[in-house]
Each structure stands twice: as structure tokens, then as C-alpha cells.
Structure 1
Amino acid sequence: MLEPDDERRGRRDLADTLKQLRKAAGLSGERLAARAAMSQSKISRIESGRSLPSVSDVERLMKALDVPPDAQQDILTVARAANVDYVSVRASARKGIWRRQAEIKALCESSKSVRHFLPAIPSGLLQTADYARAALTPVIEGNPARDIERAVRTRLDAQSVLDDESRQFHFLLTEQAVRIKRASSAVMVEQLRHLAEVSQRPNVDLAIVPSSELVGASPLNIFVVYDERLVTVEIFSGSVALRDYRDISYHLNVFDYFRERAVSENDARRLLSSVADEFMRGPD
């Protein structure tokens, strides 16, 4: 996981390496494009560093260039590192946490299918204003200050992506995610009712893994899979973006494992109603 300067250097090194391999093979950009079944413009963008090749792109290029197997492994290691982005919480705060919300909206708008794995908290796309305000307010020392109200407004604006019924949204939560008391009981009840309402949208699959279900794997991190091209993983110190097809495939397998053990539709709504009743009966 790299900070921006190291990340840019890794991508530049990958671009330079691929360009040198093409020249060493005595191939023009057009000839390499034909061999690798890519456009010449894509080859040019990759070699100039304007476009980051996926790991599968690099594999195709090395096959077209007849790169020896041991050299391939070294280059693939560089490619996989270049396809990992790390953005720290502090870097997000410096840019404005609201910008992160706008980026999430843009990613959703460029995807046909979005899968959210939510072991600890509902997605920002599912949050009410009061719940989002509580979730975005720093409470741990070292968590940087942020413009809370602007972040809340941007988070609520991002929820408009759910209105596009040509896109499918899959929200997979654990029961713990809806039970953790992030705000007053009244806010929690409102949030749970909102989840039940959103679950009835035709393009939304909202599922919950009950705490009574036997689960052999550990739900460690929040992650989102955009189509089958990108995974973003949330950790305490920031977020990681993964583009290696093997990482994407693994996270899809994780999602499917927990989804098979979850309840949805009326069963999920009954669970949400039951938890809401507990909040209503309990102390504020």
C-alpha cells in the first residue's frame, strides 16, 4: 500500500519496463497491438503512463512479447503493486471528505452491478441524514476533523444513484451492522425503517446474515465490488483499491459465501423490524 508519490513511481516504472520490452523485441507499437489484440492507442497510453494496464493486460503483452517466465513473475509483481491504490484517512480529510462521497457516486454511475459487503455499518447509500451525521463525526483521537455537514449533504446526494433501475445494487450486512448503536434510539429506529423501505426497490437486493447463522469465515472488512473490475476495501486508516482480477475474484467469492447464509426480502425486513422494536423498548 503506497502513498501517492510511491504509487506514481511504481506506475511509471511499469510503463517504462513495458516500453523497453517492446523495443528490445524490435516491435513497433502497431505490431505489438496486433499481437496482443489491443488498439495501438491503448499501447501508447500504457507506455506513456497515461493509462494503467490491468494485470491481465500485462499478461497479454508479455505473452505477445515472448517474455521468459521468470522475468514475467518480476513484472507481474510490479503490475500487481501498481494496481493497488491506498488513500489514507488524513489524505481524504485534506482533500475534503465530501470529495470521497462524490467519487463513490461516480463509481456507482459507471457500474451496472455494485456489491457492498457491510459487516459493521450500513453503506452511505443507505443512511439517513441523522445516522450519517453520527457516523461521520470523529470520536477517536487521531481521526482528522472534517466538514461534517458538507459530507452529509454529499452522501445523501450520492443516494440518487439508486433511482437508476438499470443498475443493480446488492447490500449484504451482518446483523451486527444493524445492531451497533451509532446514535440515539430514535435515530436507530428511523435508520432501520429506512433500510426496510430501500429493500423494496426493484433494483436493490438487501440481505442480512443473522447472528444465529453458523458462519465459518470471519467478516473482516467493508468492501465494495464494482462490476468485476474494481474492489475498494475500507480499513481504519483509509481505503485500498484493488484491480488485480485475482483479488476481484476472491472478493466475489467472499461475498457469495456470506450471501448464501443471509436472509433477504420479507425475512430481512422482519429482522430489521425486530431490532427496531428492541431499540424502541430499550433506554435511549
Structure 2
Amino acid sequence: MSIATAQTPTRSPRRARRSLKSTDRRAGLGLLAPAGIVILAVTIFPIIYSIVMSFNDITLTTTGFDFKFSGFHNYATVYGAPVFWHSVWFTVYYSIVTVAVELFLGLLIALAIQNVQRLKDLSIVIMLIPWSLITVISAQMWGYIYNGVYGVLNGVFQGLHIIGSPANWLGAPTSAVMAMMVADIWKTTPFVVIILVSGLQMIPHDYYEAARIDGANAWQTFWNVTFPQLRGSIALAGLFRILQAFGVFDLPFVLTHGGPGTSTQSLAILGEETLFQNLHFGIGAAIAVSTVILVLGACLAFLSAFRSMVEEEAA
């Protein structure tokens, strides 16, 4: 009499790895779920809700909001208003000038910090001070500097005999725009510097040794070694700064409140006044959605231009 012993089938290594990966994937999704819910609640939902608001005529009632579908009426109202196009022009002009100057100054300062070995850490800490200040506090400080009665800038310029009498820097359209740009460049250039310094530290030192052996001068070394290796960091800094510049709100709100007149009225200022002060919720939402579309277009244009420049140099 023979007894047959049943053997338990063994799982193949490939199937075991697949099962392990599936378990890890479920565990990872479970850990990411709380963050995903928060992102949906504070980011995705407001965006979708703003888009819905932009297609409705909204009135405030005693029981809440009354939505009445109006199609593209709000967008037609926005795009037919000259003040909107003035805000678009100012926001685009302001963003292009400030981002270009910040990238240029940030690159110069980053190169200087990279070449100062002993004081590099101290230099980085000093550069972080303007960036670490809250924008409202920074704007208040610049408001005191630009003040037409007791401002520091007037005192310095009069002491140097550059101007004969105190000037109201925030009282004229041209000087107000320039003053706001200077304040923004002062605060946000350190952000660009930190990104570019990090990029410079990632460039292998062997590249510079090879350039030195080949007899390259400082400019040739920068153009053929440093700049190509730093393009990714420049693109990253430029992308972040475009996103921030197109959404500028707190600096003009504190310094000029969009004035004098509408000379420093950004799209964010216009949206805030329309939505929260005038209570035109549908029109304000249309301005916000249009701003998002404009920002995305500007970022795509910047990345496309940067990619084209890289491809031309590679060819």
C-alpha cells in the first residue's frame, strides 16, 4: 500500500516579485492618499469651482449665492474692457523686465559667490535675508524709502545733488512702475542666486581643468563650460519667477494699490477689486481663469524658446 504525498506548488520568482510590487504599490497609494485629498481640496476644487463661476451670473442673496448660467457673457465683458487689457499689458511688461533683470543679476552674483571660497556660506546667508522677508513687510519698507516727505531715497539723492527737491516716486505712473520693479528685483534676485549657486556646484571640476589645459580664457570657459551646464538651473529659476511675477499682488497692493490711476494695476489686483470689492463674482472668476491661461501660455513660450536655443547650440 503506497501513500501519495501531495506537494504544495511553489510560486515562481517572477510572480512573487509581481505580487510584492503590487503590495508596495497599494501601500504607496495609501500613504499618498491623505496628501492627494488635501491637494484636491485646496487646489483642484477651487480651480474647477472658479471655472464654473466664470460661466455663471452670480448674485449674492440672504441664503447664499444664486447661480444663473450665462455662457461666455462674463468673458465677453472682461475682454471688452480696456482696463483688463491695460492690466494684461502691465503684468506682461512687468514680468518680462523683472525676470530678465533677476536672471542676469542672479547669474552675476552666483558666479561671484562661487569664486569666493572662504565667504561663500556667509554670502549665501546674506543673500537669503531679502528673500526671507515677508513681501508685505518688504513693501512697507520700500514705501518708507520712496516716501515723498521723509523718504530715505530723497535724502540720499538730495545729498548727492542729483535732485533739487523731494520727488514723489510713487505719485507718477512711470516712476511708480520703476520703483515697484526695483523693490521686486531686490527681493527676488536672491531666489535666483540660490538656484544658480546650486547648479554651479553640480558642474564637475574636471570640465574646468580641461578648459584650462586647452588654454580657454574666462569668457570661453563660461560660454562653453559653465553656461551649457547651467541652462537647466536657469530655466528652472526663470519658470518659477514667471509664475510668481504674473501673479504679483501683495507688492503693488501695499505700495501703490494699483495706482496712480491704474498704472500699476496687475491682473491679480484687478481680479481682487472685481471679485471682493465690487462683488462681481462671475466677472472676477473670468479674470482669474484668463490669468491662469495667460500664465500657462507664458511658461510654455519660455520653455519652448529655451529649448529652441539649446537645440540650435547643440546643432
**TM-score, with length taken from structure 1:** 0.24
Larger strand share, 1 or 2: 1
The structure in which a higher percent of residues are helix is 2
